């Protein structure tokens, strides 16, 4: 056990808790806006996500959701794998989560600000 591993669990728990609250608070807002805009047809959802407040709200919600999913998968990897497979799994999980987040943010930024 390394000297830094004792604080890793606390840091992971705090990040998990904050991401969870972001999802809990962001989901009703995102769902409410989606329900309000879907009544006006599919073009209204594109218009909402292309607006500044729609894009920023969805970026915040997606950031919390993707981080939460990444942290959940990290727990599974840490519980069931060890050694090189654990390192590879955590690296792959981080890469997939980062690529997914970048794709979401790039799409929303391009739709709303370009």
- Whether 50 is in a domain gets the answer yes
> Domain containing 57: what range?
13-113
Tokens found for residue 54: 């729609």
φ, ψ at 62 (rounded to 5°): -65, -35
- Whether 8 is in a domain gets the answer no
Query: pTM here?
Result: 0.81
- Whether 99 is in a domain gets the answer yes
- Whether 29 is in a domain gets the answer yes
φ, ψ at 71 (rounded to 5°): -65, -35
Greater confidence, 93 or 37? Answer: 93
- Whether 80 is in a domain gets the answer yes
- Whether 3 is in a domain gets the answer no
pLDDT in tens, 28-79: 888 888 888 888 888 888 888 898 888 998 999 999 999 999 999 999 999 9
* Count of domains for the chain: 1
* DSSP assignment letter at 51: S
- Whether 82 is in a domain gets the answer yes
């Amino acid at each position: 056990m390394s000297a830094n591993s004792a604080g890793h669990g606390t840091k992971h728990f705090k990040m998990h808790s904050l991401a969870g609250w972001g999802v809990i608070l962001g989901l009703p807002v995102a769902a409410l806006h989606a329900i309000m805009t879907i009544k006006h047809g599919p073009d209204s959802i594109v218009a909402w996500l292309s607006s500044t407040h729609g894009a920023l709200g969805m970026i915040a919600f997606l950031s919390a959701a993707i981080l939460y999913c990444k942290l959940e998968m990290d727990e599974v990897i840490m519980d069931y794998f060890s050694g090189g497979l654990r390192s590879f799994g955590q690296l792959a999980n981080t890469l997939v989560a980062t690529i997914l987040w970048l794709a979401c943010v790039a799409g929303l930024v391009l739709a709303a600000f370009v």
